[in-house]
Chain A
Amino acid sequence: MKKNIWGVVLAVVGAVALGGIALYRQEPINALWIVTAAVCIYLLGFRFYAAWIAARVLTVDQSRATPAERHDNGRDFVPTHRWIVFGHHFAAIAGPGPLVGPTLAAQFGYLPGTLWIMVGAVVGGCVQDMTILLLSTRRDGRSLGQMARDELGPFGGFAALIGTLLIMIILIAVLGLVVVNAMKHSPWGTSTVFTTIPVAILVGFYLRTWRPGRVLEASLLGLVLVLLAVLGGGWVDHQPALRPWFDYDGVPLAGFVILYGWLAAILPVWLLLAPRDYLSTFLKLGTVVLLAIAIVLTHPQIKMPALTQFIDGSGPLFGGKVFPFVFITIACGAISGFHSLIASGTTPKLISSEADVRLIGYGSMALESFVAIMAMIAATLLDPGVYFAINTGAGIVGSTPEAAVQTITGWGFPVTAQQMQSLAQDMGERTLFARTGGAPSLAVGMASIFGNSFGRGLLAVWYHFAIMFEAVFILTTLDAGTRVGRFMLQDLFGQVWKPFGRTSWYPSVLLASTLVVAAWGYFLYIGVIDPNGGVNILWPLFGIANQMLAAIALSVATGILVKSGKARYAFVTLVPLAWLALITTTAAWQKIVSPNVRIGFFAAANDLAAKLAAGTLPAERAAVAPQLIFNQRLDGWLTVLFTAIVWFVIIDMIRVWSRRARGLSVIQSSEAPYQLTRLQGVPQGSGS
């Protein structure tokens, strides 16, 4: 009864907040309306929809022993308290994705992205994460690829593997590009980010040699050092003798990032990868909490209109109409296929009771979605003119401040060169024009929120703290992703030639790492030399790939639901699957066939080729044109490949469904047999 009253209160408050958003359409709206609406929607989704799915669709059974209990080995299989698993799982799924996507999607206005983040998470992303988590828990923690193979057939498994490898490469490239753009000609940012590398190595030695396994001490030490690195970067910025050492163009910075990724992949994990991950986890959780507090304290006004004229497809950050592109741009935060790899990886091996999947799967994703809402707020509290000046590439608005402010003011978003100059000065940067990629604009937004809550005199420090925070995040994903890509490649080649599959055989390690780094390094390099910023091409490609991976995961889940006789509940995964199939296929179709050079890959390639042949390109653009043309065509073919893979998996799932409906034989379920739990409650804290 008491729970129902809470539900009613939440529903009323949520409805009032959403009503507020709806009524405030013509005037600035306060961010608190959005925060309140989002929190109420997540809580309602968790309290009712997730509980219903857990009970009826997944038939969660508390009496059933989980793999953590059955295979308890004190190492990777360990029954763990649900709040601790929640922390682990959230730290694993939350990356830079939900920060960058909403920032870019803000070009459509704050409304489309915000609604998609809330609705997409509650009926899509959270459901996917929870379902895959339970299905994997029932199958001894098997991975998505293995489940696809076991439940749909060998083709499904192969498609999942290829899809994962490709999305990883695109993901790393686009994230690398975000970091490069944030460090470009920023001695403060560059020196701070560089310093985090020796700090990580120091923490690595601390954890391995001096005080083995003292994670908290080591993390605290590292945290203090990276905060000092932020301040130290400010000092470097004021030393004319030191500045040039950290003042780089995009291409050398891309070279550094590529070299770093390669080293991180071949060096032992304890030296760089693991310690960097401890730092980034602490920074991530700390900053998320701090940002939430600061937004509530400052309750800023949203200055971006609810909708901008760019919903028609002419957006300066990236081309394409609000449908389907807002749904592609915001993947993480609404629904992210990548999460299904985490939910079928380490997390199911820690769960002590099936009943915990609601909190861990659904709850963690709701929190990640909230992070995306905060990123949206940080982007839209800026003056729209400033937002567009920071995020639009020089190829669109022109390379001089005068040209840029004139174009942007002409769109109806007034901004002056003076305003941008004084903002850059406040933030401790030389310029903030055309700093594409989302990180600098998010950092300006975060700095204004933090500055207003905790002291405006420190704006430049907050800005570079935010840059460092994003870079540490991204470099962690880059390290970990390159390593996973290396394992996948070794696994693939190992099927052809056995020795290559041995993950510790050094020639194989070197070759596979080099191939993975070369693949993302190529896309990163092309993105850096692209005069439109590169993010406009790579981010939609990443969004399409990530959503398609989600479609693969939801196909596997739907197939399993149908096979276990729950076809009438299959709509739970089928509805988000149908939506994803619709938006990814529409977006892919447009990226392939659109004659608009700002949307279609082939149209852009042909247009550039024609201009190159006619000799109408300026010399510096003509020099890179052949590479850009090749890249656009390659991206086009990649999109075709992604779409084909996803539709093959969907058709494979439909095949299984129809065989089952006609009473024909289907592959047997790979669910582990029921075993009664012997756990008395759940171990508390550090536990048993």
Chain B
Amino acid sequence: MRGERATVLRLARALGAAWRWLRAASGDDAYERYLAHHVREHADRLPLSRRAFFRESQQRKWSGVSRCC
């Protein structure tokens, strides 16, 4: 019984890690990361809204060489 539970827990942890990786790699969690950074460094100012943050980050990403052949 205990062994099974440990396996299930390990599996859940692995799936969780994979999900977090996928979100981070695709940029799905970019806003959350930005918020965390903002709270840490500039707690005195209001952060950008989710919409404004993505608008700005897309503009920034496509202003340089970001895709190759």
Contact = CB atoms under 8 A, between A and B. Distances in A.
B46 interface: no
B29 A686 contact: yes
How many residues of B sit at the interface, in one of the four size bands?
Answer: 35 or more
B60 A75 contact: yes
A484 B65 contact: yes
A74 B67 contact: no
A483 B67 CA distance: 11
A674 B30 CA distance: 29
A88 B34 contact: no
A211 to B, nearest CB: 9
Interface string B14-55: 000100111111111111111011101100000000110111
Nearest to B53: A213
A546 interface: yes
A75 B57 contact: yes
A212 interface: yes
Interface in A381-401: none
B28 A483 contact: no
A270 interface: yes
Contacts of B32: 686
Given A83-B21, A686-B33, A269 B69 contact: no
A96 B57 CA distance: 26
B3 interface: no
A615 interface: no
Contacts of A487: 63-64
B40 to A, nearest CB: 8
Contacts of A175: 69
Interface in A156-171: 171
Contacts of B22: 216
A283 B21 CA distance: 18
How many residues of A sit at the interface, in one of the four size bands?
Answer: 35 or more
A514 interface: no
Nearest to A96: B69
Interface string A484-501: 100100000000000000
Contact of B68 (A72, A87, A94, A219): A94
Interface string A77-100: 010110110011000111111000
A345 B64 contact: yes
A179 interface: no
Contacts of A270: 55, 58
A685 interface: yes
A301 interface: no
B24 A84 contact: yes
Interface of A: 72-76, 78, 80-81, 83-84, 87-88, 92-97, 143, 171, 175, 207-208, 212-216, 219, 269-270, 273-274, 277-278, 332, 336, 338-339, 341-342, 345-346, 476-477, 480-481, 483-484, 487, 503, 546, 684-688
Given A92-B68, A269-B58, A269-B62, 20 more contacts: A72-B37, A78-B33, A84-B21, A92-B67, A95-B67, A96-B69, A208-B51, A213-B50, A213-B53, A214-B28, A215-B26, A216-B22, A346-B64, A480-B66, A480-B67, A484-B65, A684-B20, A686-B20, A686-B32, A688-B37
Interface of B: 17, 20-34, 36-38, 40-41, 50-51, 53-69
15 contacts: A72-B37, A72-B41, A74-B38, A75-B57, A97-B68, A208-B54, A213-B30, A216-B26, A269-B61, A338-B68, A341-B65, A345-B65, A685-B24, A686-B24, A688-B37
